[in-house]
Amino acid sequence: MTKVLVVDDSNSIRDMVSFTLKSAGYNTVEAKDGQDGLTKAQGGGFDLVISDVNMPIMDGIELCQELRKLPSFKFTPILMLTTESSGDMKQRGKSAGATGWLVKPFNPEKLLATIKRVVR
Amino acid sequence: MSIDLSQFIPSFLEESFEGLELMESSLLDLNQDSDSETINSVFRAAHSIKGGAGTFGFNDVTEFTHHVETLLDEMRDGRRTIEPDDVEILLDSVDCMRLMIEAVRDDVTCEDEKIAKTSILLQKTLGSHDDDASTDEQPQNTAKNNEATTSNSCWQITFIPQHHLVQTGNDPLLLFNALADLGQLSVVAKVDGLPALTDMDAEELYLTWQLELKSGCSEDDIKEVFEWVEDECELIIEQQMQELDDSPVIESEEVANPSPIDINPSLPEKSLEVELAASKPSEKTASKAKPDVGSIRVGVDKVDSLINLVGELVITQSMLSELGNDFDMSKTERLVSGLEQLLQNTKELQESVMRIRMLPISFAFNRFPRLVHDLSKKTGKEMELIIKGEQTELDKTVMEQIGDPLVHLVRNAADHGIESAEVRIAAGKPAKGTITLDAYHQGGNIVIEICDDGAGINRDIILAKATEKGLVDAKAVLTDSQVYDLLFEAGFSTAAEITDISGRGVGMDVVKRNIQSLGGRIQVESVQGKGSTFKVNLPLTLAILDGQLVKVGTETYIIPLIAIVESLQAKSDLINRVSGDMVLYRLREDNVPVLPIYQLFDLTAECKEVDNALLVVVEADGQKVGLMVDDLLAQQQVVIKSLADNYQQVDGISGATILGDGSVAMILDIPGMIALAMKIGKENTASIIQESVGENA
Amino acid sequence: MNIQEMAKDIPVEGEHSLEGIDFITNGEQYLTFVLDQEQYAVDILCVEEIRSWEQPTKIPNAPRYVKGVINMRGIIVPIIDLRLKFTIGQPQYLETTVVIVLTFEHDHKSRTIGFVVDAVSDVLNADEGDIKKAPSFGGSMPQEYVEGLINVGDNVVTLLSVQALQTIEQHQLHA
């Protein structure tokens, strides 16, 4: 089953993303900030990472950079959850190695349709 | 498939309130020298609230919070210095956000002037910075080149990815999957670019593709699928009109859906709308429309402790059960010890469960830094707040109800206690006044102290005011504490105080009543010139009462310990009979009316004469009464059970409890009994009670 | 010896559970009981327990027919003597006197009240057609308490209204 790592410091957003994914048959693991996400990533076997950008301790950009250093995450799709669709954020994300972005506010149907670009 | 996220709204609301609290407490301390993490955390809180609000469509919250977020973003980036005035605006913004989110929670419309005013202030502050940001922010509503065609076109797509594409985590095949959702797709891979096998890098991509998509979608829809890789590929999209039999050919210039969205509502328009809304008499008050069953967050440690105790209980039970299976008299000792063990387990379990409803008083205390900050500004007096004992725990319900009285007491300290800087300096005190909030456990209660180092209570002024209002006789001689008690008399509050608290008509009498309704009491200590301390004494939980068991005839009653002044045996020479049936007992300076419980409750009692009778002197609402009983039994903690659930309220009785022997005992409601006595008693008896109250006060 | 067995020998004021009742139909079984010489019945689904009479704790200044409250598994249950409320016969409190504890559910709230009766009889099966309308005059019971009459052999059983019973003494109850 497709396993997704969901990282967001907002409990409700994290719950909603996780719920949406689970409803569609995905398996999810949740983390509350970048550091927590990195720790949980060590578990391996992830097909996708969805992460917020603004988080305490370690933000999404740094998480992405750190994940890309891990062999098991070299090609894993990493999507940034962001409210900014400005070019600046896209660039930062890409430079960090992100695969793409998902724009907030979060729309469940849109999320599910969009992640099809990177997971089955 | 439609996914319903409304179940997450309560969690979002709870999170938002917490976020607002965090914002407020961080903002109160925010200045130039604050570290970046402080301002970042405020930003993140606002950001989360905006995100969540957007998801659920709470657009007014989203719009307002967006400005807040922008301002905070500028501050955290260093693009804007942190000015005190801006912090004030942000604090006001937090208030507004709170109002709006409360309105969402209560399902009412929010029409507060403050929101409009603050919104305008925010936008003014942001000035020209704002224009860029809002353009980006309207999610998915930007006027795209969305021509919804009704007939299929045939799209020819050439996709030439750069070699390192897969290293971004993108997979062309999956992109095509997404594309296939738009219509009918056929894919042809081109192998022309493949190098020799020995030159191939396993992590690079050498293929290119030619795709044909039959779809009624737009070009932008196709571009969107490839949006993440647009910088890492060459994408050529050509449209070929497909002629279907009946449908007309769609010209690409035709816009089926005219761009409907106006992204930037112009500022003046918006404020006009809002002002109009604000001037309408708001019919829906922000009173809580939805009754909330309520929930509690419990620390895992408390739950674990509970699980352990239940485990021990189970062990004890199985031990006793085993004893019972094969019992003979030689095992009596083990039985007794087993029962003792059971008692211990049950006690610990009870305490543990009670603790679940207990929360640290910090939840009630956390609104005070802001309150004092605002009061300081409003009164122009310098003052600071010190909080102690915020980890002291008390029952959740008690805490919810003690909030307002505490606010009033703190306001009181700020308004009447703390003097202005000049006066303080002249008195040799530091210019800044100090208000201290403290909480600690004492006996089975929690004590909350509100202490100020201000002017103290001026006994003469109080006495004069009270006399003026007819609350005391001009000639009466009163002790200091009796004078301070006058503060709590109904009618003592001045009109100025009442309007001060947003017209809610709160006075010290309401404070005292609220505290008493929680089973507590309030005392005042003061030294003129030095300061005052208000001490609020509350039971730790509402469900349990410390009681004195008494016997009247064959019946056992419980008198709340907190109401008992003292118990004594009536001495004949101190008994005075007044006209009618009223009996007064001389207790030091007071004349205490004697209430024979057996008469009040229509019972047969052993002791019917006041001479040498056992009197339990109790106090309620400033009035002392001597309850006549046959016998004093034990003092114990009792669990309060409601009579009203299955029966109804009974005058003079506040509830019932189940004693150790399984029988039911009634818990006396002292104010209720006094009221009952007055009702039943003869008219002149009633008036005599009034007079003796006048003397006592 | 098993302590539970020992306990059985000790006379106890306790409950008798309703065993062996065939709960096949919904609401068409009634528990019949006796007040003085007359037979009454109540919907068996409301019957929580049947208890021996025990002296309850008095409620101050309550009406005569409100005998007091008892502790039933931690719940405070008021005991009402229907014989006193409706002036039926000369109430006595003997070893055979019984309290029928009824639980009413209404609007997600439940109310439990115990009613003192002289004796409990059989369980009656009756369907709607068997319940005849009661005459509007006479009878010890005020009309609002009577659901109808059921003929059982030569006897007539008065079916009591659960609605009316659950609001007995309700005037000060908070919603």
Q: CB distance B136–A84 less than 8 Å?
A: yes
Model confidence band, residue B94 (pLDDT cutoffs 50, 70, 90): very high
Q: Are strands A100-103 and B153-161 parallel, antiparallel or unpaired?
A: unpaired
From C105's Cα to the closest Cα of chain B, the distance in A is 12
What is each CA distance from B447 to A96, B256, B438, B450, B536, in whole angstroms? 55, 71, 8, 10, 6
Q: Lowest-pLDDT range, B141-155, B257-271, B581-595, C117-131?
A: B257-271
**Residue C171 domain-assigned (yes or no):** no
| Start-to-end C-alpha separation, chain B | 72
What average pLDDT does the segment C125-154 reach?
81
Q: CB distance C59–B649 less than 8 Å?
A: no
What average pLDDT does the segment B632-656 reach?
86
Chains meeting C at 3+ CB pairs closer than 8 A?
A: B
Which residues on chain B are in Cβ contact (under 8 Å) with A113? 178, 181
Q: How far, in Å, CA of B413 to CA of B533, rounded?
A: 9
Task: Kindly state whether B656 is in contact with chain C, defined as any CB-CB distance less than 8 angstroms.
Answer: yes
Strand order from edge to edge, sheet including B153-161: B184-190, B208-215, B153-161, B233-241
Task: Kindly state whether B644 is in contact with chain C, defined as any CB-CB distance less than 8 angstroms.
Answer: yes
Phi, psi of C16, deg, nearest 5: -115, 125
Pick from B166, B168, B184: nearest CA to B176: B184
Q: What mean pLDDT is reported for chain B?
A: 79
pLDDT score recorded for residue C89: 83
pLDDT score recorded for residue C31: 93
Model confidence band, residue B245 (pLDDT cutoffs 50, 70, 90): very low
Model confidence band, residue B399 (pLDDT cutoffs 50, 70, 90): confident
Domain B544-696 sits in CATH at 2.40.50.180
Q: How far, in Å, CA of B375 to CA of A68, rounded?
A: 52
Q: Are strands A27-31 and A3-7 parallel, antiparallel or unpaired?
A: parallel
Model confidence band, residue C17 (pLDDT cutoffs 50, 70, 90): very low
B493 vs B314, which has greater pLDDT? B314
Evaluate whether A101 touches A118 at the Cβ level (below 8 Å). no
Task: Kindly state whether C156 is in contact with chain B, defined as any CB-CB distance less than 8 angstroms.
Answer: no
**Chain pair B-C, CB pairs under 8 angstroms:** 90
Q: CB distance B5–A20 less than 8 Å?
A: yes
- Judged against a pLDDT cut of 70, whether residue C173 lies above it is answered with no
From B332's Cα to the closest Cα of chain C, the distance in A is 12
Domain count, chain C: 1
From C40's Cα to the closest Cα of chain B, the distance in A is 23
Cis peptide, bond prior to residue A108, ω within 30 of zero:
no
Q: What are the residues whose beta carbons fall under 8 Å from the beta carbon of B52, sequence distance 6 or more?
A: A10, A12, A13, A105, B12, B15, B16
Q: CB distance C76–B656 less than 8 Å?
A: yes
- Judged against a pLDDT cut of 80, whether residue B349 lies above it is answered with yes
Q: How far, in Å, CA of B612 to CA of B462, rounded?
A: 40
Q: Domain map of chain B by residue range?
A: 6-136, 153-241, 301-356, 360-539, 544-696
Among B601, B643, B664, the residue with its CB nearest the CB of C71 is: B664
pLDDT score recorded for residue B503: 38
Which regions of B216-333 does DSSP assign to beta strands (E)?
A: 233-241
Q: Which of B647, B649, B668, B669 to mutate to test the interface with C (most CBs of C within 10 A)?
A: B647
What is each CA distance from C104 to B643, C16, C101, C113, C161, in whole angstroms? 16, 20, 10, 8, 11
From B332's Cα to the closest Cα of chain A, the distance in A is 56
Q: CB distance A77–B166 less than 8 Å?
A: no
Characterize B258-277 residue by residue with b for buried, 16 or more Cβ atoms within 10 angstroms of its Cβ, and e for exposed.
eeeeeeeeeeeebeeebeeb
Which residues on chain A are in Cβ contact (under 8 Å) with B3? 19-20, 23, 108-109
Q: How far, in Å, CA of B324 to CA of C2, rounded?
A: 6
Residue pLDDT, tens place only, B422-442: 989 998 999 999 999 999 987
B534 vs B649, which has greater pLDDT? B534
**How remote is the C-alpha of A109 from its chain's centroid?**
16
What average pLDDT does the segment A102-108 reach?
82
Q: How far, in Å, CA of C145 to CA of C168, rounded?
A: 10
Residue pLDDT, tens place only, C29-60: 899 999 988 899 999 989 999 999 999 999 99
Domain B360-539 sits in CATH at 3.30.565.10
Residue pLDDT, tens place only, C66-112: 999 998 888 899 999 989 988 888 888 988 899 999 998 877 778 89
What average pLDDT does the segment A31-58 reach?
91
Superfamily of domain B6-136: HPT domain (1.20.120.160)
Q: What are the residues whose beta carbons fall under 8 Å from the beta carbon of B240, sequence distance 6 or more?
A: B153, B154, B155, B156
**Residue C175 domain-assigned (yes or no):** no
pLDDT score recorded for residue B580: 66
Q: Do chains A and C touch (3 or more CB pairs under 8 A)?
A: no
Q: How far, in Å, CA of B633 to CA of B314, rounded?
A: 34
pLDDT score recorded for residue B242: 58
What average pLDDT does the segment B382-402 reach?
88
Q: What's the one-letter identity of residue B477?
A: V
Among B52, B136, B169, the residue with its CB nearest the CB of A99 is: B169
Q: Where are the alpha helices (DSSP H) in B107-155?
A: 113-126, 129-137
- Judged against a pLDDT cut of 60, whether residue B673 lies above it is answered with yes
What is each CA distance from B167 to A118, B179, B204, C76, in whole angstroms? 12, 21, 8, 71
Q: How far, in Å, CA of B456 to CA of B479, rounded?
A: 16
What is each CA distance from A47 to A6, B100, B170, B372, in whole angstroms? 11, 39, 12, 52
Q: What mean pLDDT is reported for chain C?
A: 80
Model confidence band, residue B30 (pLDDT cutoffs 50, 70, 90): confident
pLDDT score recorded for residue C6: 55
Among A55, A112, A116, the residue with its CB nearest the CB of B174 is: A116
Task: Kindly state whether B330 is in contact with chain C, defined as any CB-CB distance less than 8 angstroms.
Answer: no
Which residues on chain A are in Cβ contact (under 8 Å) with B54? 83, 104-106
What average pLDDT does the segment B356-375 reach?
88
- Percent of the residues in chain B that have a pLDDT greater than 90, as a whole number: 18
- Tokens 């640290």 correspond to B360
Strand order from edge to edge, sheet including B631-639: B631-639, B544-552, B555-560, B664-668, B653-658
Q: Which of B293, B330, B653, B664 to mutate to test the interface with C (most CBs of C within 10 A)?
A: B664
> Of B24, B47, B591, B619, which is the active-site residue?
B47
The answer to whether B69 is a known catalytic residue is yes
Q: CB distance C59–B643 less than 8 Å?
A: yes
Q: CB distance B646–C77 less than 8 Å?
A: yes
Question: What's chain C's length in residues?
Answer: 175
Q: Lowest-pLDDT range, B67-76, B356-365, B455-464?
A: B455-464
8-state DSSP, B204: S
Widest distance between CA atoms in chain B: 122
Neighbours of A58 (CB within 10 A): 17
Tokens representing residue B275 in the block: 């002002």
What average pLDDT does the segment B657-670 reach?
88
Neighbours of A23 (CB within 10 A): 13
Evaluate whether B584 touches B593 at the Cβ level (below 8 Å). yes
Q: What are the residues whose beta carbons fall under 8 Å from the beta carbon of B263, sequence distance 6 or more?
A: B134, B135, B138, B141, B142, B143
Element (H, E) at B49: helix B36-56
Neighbours of B245 (CB within 10 A): 4
Tokens representing residue B241 in the block: 């009109």
The yes/no answer to whether this complex scores an ipTM above 0.95 is no
The answer to whether B47 is a known catalytic residue is yes
Pick from B634, B623, B608: nearest CA to B674: B623
Among B649, B652, B664, the residue with its CB nearest the CB of C57 is: B664
Model confidence band, residue B287 (pLDDT cutoffs 50, 70, 90): very low
Chains meeting B at 3+ CB pairs closer than 8 A?
A: A, C
> Which pTM value belongs to this model?
0.56
Q: Could you tell me which CATH class the domain B153-241 is placed in?
A: alpha beta
Tokens representing residue B238 in the block: 């050509």
The answer to whether B264 is a known catalytic residue is no
Q: How far, in Å, CA of B38 to CA of B405, rounded?
A: 32
Q: Which of C12, C76, C110 to mutate to test the interface with B (most CBs of B within 10 A)?
A: C76
Q: CB distance B1–A24 less than 8 Å?
A: yes
Q: Chain C residue closest to B673 (CA)?
A: C60
Which residues on chain B are in Cβ contact (under 8 Å) with C173? 644, 647-649
pLDDT score recorded for residue B395: 86
What average pLDDT does the segment B42-48 reach?
91
Model confidence band, residue B637 (pLDDT cutoffs 50, 70, 90): confident
Among B43, B139, B178, the residue with its CB nearest the CB of A105 is: B139
Structural domain for C92, as ranges: 13-166
Q: Which of B132, B228, B232 to mutate to test the interface with A (most CBs of A within 10 A)?
A: B228
Pick from A45, A59, A1: nearest CA to A25: A1
Q: How far, in Å, CA of C148 to CA of C158, rounded?
A: 6
Task: Kindly state whether B648 is in contact with chain C, defined as any CB-CB distance less than 8 angstroms.
Answer: yes
pLDDT score recorded for residue B267: 38
Which one of B266-275, B286-295, B328-337 scores highest in mean pLDDT?
Answer: B328-337
Phi, psi of B90, deg, nearest 5: -65, -40
B313 vs B248, which has greater pLDDT? B313
Q: CB distance C74–B643 less than 8 Å?
A: no
- Judged against a pLDDT cut of 90, whether residue C3 lies above it is answered with no
Evaluate whether C102 touches C164 at the Cβ level (below 8 Å). no
Domain A3-115 in CATH 3.40.50.2300? The answer is yes
> Of B63, B345, B373, B412, which is the active-site residue?
B412
Q: Lowest-pLDDT range, B626-630, B676-680, C5-9?
A: C5-9
Evaluate whether B195 touches B206 at the Cβ level (below 8 Å). yes
B621 vs B494, which has greater pLDDT? B621
Residue pLDDT, tens place only, B565-624: 899 988 888 888 876 677 888 888 788 888 889 888 888 877 777 778 899 999 876 678
Q: Domain map of chain A by residue range?
A: 3-115
